[in-house]
């Protein structure tokens, strides 16, 4: 008896099934099978004709949130005030019965804006964030024990959200090894008198290829609030410039992702290659009605105006800091990719040799930062890591925060210049917390996590405002990273740092002696044979 190949959807490609059918028919002419053409018609199908039944557009944010539950986890996109789902946040604020929320976001907005509104209304009981920043209410609620705060390095936060949406329960990262994050000494909640009520849990550590990594668990959200530039009724979303930040990673994560879009368009109006968040992740889409805001307006000086150097202070302080920034600018080499910290480091590009071309990266999702905009040309979707208005250079690219920190941790960034409160003799860095104050980690723990590939340059004054050394045998403040600093530039001197042997003094500022540097430096150091003049 001839072998007969039956028509089965999983029996292989149509061409293979058709060949088998033809051979069987020749062996037994009495058998009758449908033609290859009819088989192909039966196997051909498309979702196109059914898409008209999908409509994720809701009439309002209030309608979309009608059944939102209390005591759930809310992921909120945004960085500073850019890409923040304010329409949805405002709707929650107007429904005080929604409370006990665990909110996950890079920061909690500002007083009177963003998630800051839900802090004011006491609808948030816990924040998982990387940055407190200048939000005094957030800081006060945390230090007074009215809210729990799980501080998380910015890159780790992005990856925890991305992993949760990708079905990955945990991962290992080099960021935060040797810090309070890893050791479990991070205060989660305070008592009303300011004492610590509870601490974080210590992290598992494993060594891969001779390097230590910290295990972090994924975050899984019940709801995600996302701000998009465009969305269609199928839920496909497109973000604009740096407003992508955390929106993509969080939008892929939650059980119920709700998008507020500036423009609601028809399917097909967003080029398939421009869909940043596919509709499969999105449950509801509403029209965004909230005004877009800018936290820090920063402009390029107009003709005849001098550059804004107010961050340097005034008088002698400004002179010392400008000396530091000018020297830091010499570390830029042609073709480098570099990332700059907030404050003095941001001014370094102003002093770069015009023959040197450097591509600047901002961890909120920009590669190819341009100068500050002219007045009137600022864009709320274009800000840097310091929340300042910026522009893009030709050839720039924008992406999500999860991809941005992937670039950073993997060592694609050649140079990062950061400020510091303290640096140790072996290159340990402390730059995120002063006693009694809390700003948060931001992206620094990630930026210093791969010193083998990313040169970490610290810019700071040699002593603090009380005259105490900032270069110590061991850091007294909580660490940002261990053995990560390659160079220290102060108003007095320049040091090279060897993670094993320690500090070498290589340059002195004009009028400064080795003895003066020794008297103002707690850590021991050697003097280079070819000691040079700074600048």
Per DSSP bridges, beta strands 256-265 and 223-232 are parallel
141: Cβ–Cβ under 8 A, 6 or more apart, which residues?
Answer: 119, 147
Given CA atoms 370, 371, 372, 378 in this order, what sign does their dihedral have? negative
Full DSSP string of 218-235:
PP--SEEEEEEEEEETT-
Asked if 69 contacts 39 with a C-beta cutoff of 8 angstroms, the reply is no
Q: How far apart are CA 17 and CA 39, in angstroms?
A: 9
Full DSSP string of 481-501:
BSS---EEE-SSEEEEEETTT
Active-site residue flag, 363: yes
Asked if 238 contacts 218 with a C-beta cutoff of 8 angstroms, the reply is no
280: Cβ–Cβ under 8 A, 6 or more apart, which residues?
Answer: 235
Q: What are residue 391's phi and psi, to 5 degrees?
A: -125, 175
Count of other CB atoms within 10 angstroms of residue 71: 11
Query: Using the 8-state DSSP alphabet, how is residue 343 labeled?
Result: S
Per DSSP bridges, beta strands 429-430 and 392-398 are unpaired
Q: How far apart are CA 158 and CA 78, in angstroms?
A: 11
Count of other CB atoms within 10 angstroms of residue 198: 11
Residue 514, helix vs strand vs coil: helix
Asked if 463 contacts 469 with a C-beta cutoff of 8 angstroms, the reply is yes
Query: Which entry of 159, 363, 388, 507 is annotated as an active-site residue?
Result: 363
Full DSSP string of 104-144:
E-SS--BTTBTTHHHHHTT-EEEEEESB-TT-HHHHHHHHT
Q: How far apart are CA 105 and CA 17, in angstroms?
A: 53
- Positions annotated as catalytic residues are 363
């Amino acid at each position: 008896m001839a072998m007969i190949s039956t028509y089965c959807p999983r029996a292989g490609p149509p061409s293979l099934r058709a060949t088998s059918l033809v051979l069987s028919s020749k062996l037994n002419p009495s058998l009758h099978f449908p033609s290859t053409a009819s088989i192909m018609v039966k196997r051909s199908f498309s979702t196109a004709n059914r898409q008209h039944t999908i409509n994720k557009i809701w009439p309002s944010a209030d309608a979309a949130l009608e059944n939102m539950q209390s005591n759930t986890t809310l992921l909120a996109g945004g960085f500073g005030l850019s890409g923040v789902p304010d329409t949805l946040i405002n709707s929650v604020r107007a429904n005080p019965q929604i409370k006990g929320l665990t909110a996950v976001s890079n920061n909690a907005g500002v007083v009177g804006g963003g998630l800051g509104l839900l802090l004011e209304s006491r609808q948030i009981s816990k924040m998982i964030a990387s940055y407190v920043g200048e939000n005094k209410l957030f800081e006060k609620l945390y230090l007074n024990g009215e809210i729990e705060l799980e501080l998380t390095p910015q890159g780790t936060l992005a990856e925890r959200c991305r992993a949760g949406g990708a079905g990955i329960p945990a991962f290992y990262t080099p960021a935060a090894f040797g810090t309070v994050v890893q050791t479990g000494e991070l205060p989660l909640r305070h008592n009303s008198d300011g004492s610590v009520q509870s601490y974080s849990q210590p992290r598992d550590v494993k060594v891969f290829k001779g390097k230590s990594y910290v295990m972090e668990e994924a975050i899984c959200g019940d709801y995600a609030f996302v701000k998009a530039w465009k969305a269609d009724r199928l839920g496909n979303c497109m973000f604009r410039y740096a407003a992508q930040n955390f929106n993509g990673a969080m939008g892929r994560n939650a059980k119920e992702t709700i998008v507020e879009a500036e423009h609601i368009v028809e399917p097909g109006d967003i080029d398939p290659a421009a869909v940043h968040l596919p509709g499969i992740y999105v449950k509801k889409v509403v029209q965004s009605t909230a005004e877009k805001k800018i936290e820090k307006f920063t402009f390029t000086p107009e003709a005849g105006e001098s550059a804004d150097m107010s961050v340097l202070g005034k008088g002698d302080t400004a002179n010392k800091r400008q000396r530091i920034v000018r020297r830091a600018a010499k570390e830029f080499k042609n073709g480098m990719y570099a990332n700059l910290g907030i404050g003095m480091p941001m001014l370094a590009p102003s002093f770069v040799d015009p023959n040197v071309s450097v591509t600047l990266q901002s961890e909120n999702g920009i590669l190819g930062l341009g100068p500050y905009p002219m007045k009137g040309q600022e864009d709320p979707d274009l800000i840097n890591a310091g929340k300042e208005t910026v522009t893009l250079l030709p050839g720039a690219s924008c992406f999500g925060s999860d991809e941005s920190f992937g670039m950073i941790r993997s060592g694609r960034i050649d140079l990062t210049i950061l400020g510091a409160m303290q640096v140790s003799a072996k290159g340990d860095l402390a730059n995120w917390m002063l006693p009694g104050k809390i700003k948060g980690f931001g992206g620094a723990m990630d930026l210093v996590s791969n010193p083998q590939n990313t040169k970490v340059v610290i810019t700071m004054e040699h002593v603090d405002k009380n005259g105490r050394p900032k270069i110590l045998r061991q850091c007294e403040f909580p660490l940002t990273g261990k053995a990560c600093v390659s160079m220290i530039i102060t108003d007095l001197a320049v040091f090279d740092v060897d993670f094993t042997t320690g500090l070498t003094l290589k340059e002195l500022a004009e009028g400064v002696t080795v003895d003066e540097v020794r008297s103002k430096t707690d850590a021991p150091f050697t003097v280079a044979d070819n000691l040079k003049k700074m600048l």
